[in-house]
């Protein structure tokens, strides 16, 4: 979440705090060396406490922070619309098993409906990182966790974007499936007409790529419970 205003702004804020402490010590009659030592020590202590505890979340009381990076912590529910139905139709047609051929280049011909898989997710944030765990809601056939993640804050030109690379793990793979695979997603963060926080965007994987079965689709999630303020209340706050 530190990316909301960039590292230069955070560094500037720390230097301002340090300068203020040094100035106060000088006004109190301390020598320049002692004032600098106290300023650096107290600033280091304050910065460490700020980034390592939930204190940074207090900044999200300001509308500008909520607008740039909406609070993502909490439980999410949604669906992955996958092109696996198209891949499977092409595979079956190639076997000449009585399945009608599918010409994906014939733009006027209808394609099979995308396969919709219900999913649930949990997102947790710290000052320096974002954690997301995604799993299929029906049978927990697979679960996913992040390897690399970036939150691009919202600007006047567009909404915030959550981009990440994830690792998928198949708990009990059926014959022909893989146990692990990598994928990526780029999700727009915005509120719907009811004011509910949503994530939506394209996702794709390298699952079974060596057999030409890798898939892509669209992930849509809605926040069903927000836990952003929970760390500040030691878990006592009700969602």
Round to whole Å and give the CA distance between 130 and 216: 23
| pLDDT number for residue 81 | 95
Walk along the chain (239 residues) and give the pLDDT tens digit of each residue: 667 777 788 889 999 999 999 999 999 888 999 999 999 999 999 999 988 888 999 999 999 999 999 999 999 999 999 998 888 888 777 776 555 677 777 777 788 889 999 999 999 999 888 999 888 876 677 888 889 999 999 988 899 999 999 998 888 888 878 899 999 999 999 999 898 999 999 999 999 888 888 999 999 999 999 999 888 875 555 55
Contacts (Cβ under 8 Å, ≥6 apart) of 120 = 75, 76, 77, 78, 134, 135, 137
Report helix angle 7-27 to 32-52, nearest 10. 140
Q: HSE, CB side, 13 Å, CA atoms: give it for residue 163.
A: 7
| pLDDT number for residue 2 | 62
| pLDDT number for residue 27 | 92
Containing H/E element for 18? helix 7-27
| pLDDT number for residue 1 | 61
């Amino acid at each position: 979440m530190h990316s909301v205003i960039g590292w230069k702004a955070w560094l500037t804020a720390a230097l301002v705090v340090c300068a203020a402490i040094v100035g106060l010590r000088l006004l109190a009659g301390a020598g320049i060396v002692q004032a600098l030592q106290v300023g650096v020590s107290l600033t280091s202590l304050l910065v460490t406490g700020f980034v390592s505890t939930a204190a940074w979340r207090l900044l999200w009381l300001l509308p500008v922070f909520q607008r740039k990076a909406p609070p993502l912590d909490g439980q999410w529910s949604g669906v992955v619309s996958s092109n696996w139905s198209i891949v499977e139709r092409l595979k079956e047609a190639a076997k000449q098993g009585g399945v009608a051929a599918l010409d994906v280049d014939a733009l006027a011909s209808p394609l099979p409906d995308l396969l919709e898989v219900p999913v649930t997710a949990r997102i947790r944030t710290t000052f320096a990182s974002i954690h997301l765990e995604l799993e299929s809601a029906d049978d927990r056939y697979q679960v996913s966790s992040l390897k690399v993640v970036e939150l691009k804050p919202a600007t006047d030109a567009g909404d915030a974007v959550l981009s990440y690379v994830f690792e998928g793990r198949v708990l009990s793979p059926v014959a022909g499936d893989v146990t692990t695979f990598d994928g990526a997603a780029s999700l727009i963060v915005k509120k719907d007409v009811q004011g509910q926080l949503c994530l939506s965007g394209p996702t794709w994987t390298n699952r079974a790529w060596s057999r030409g079965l890798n898939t892509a689709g669209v992930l849509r999630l809605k926040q069903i419970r927000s836990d952003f303020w929970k760390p500040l209340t030691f878990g006592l706050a009700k969602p």
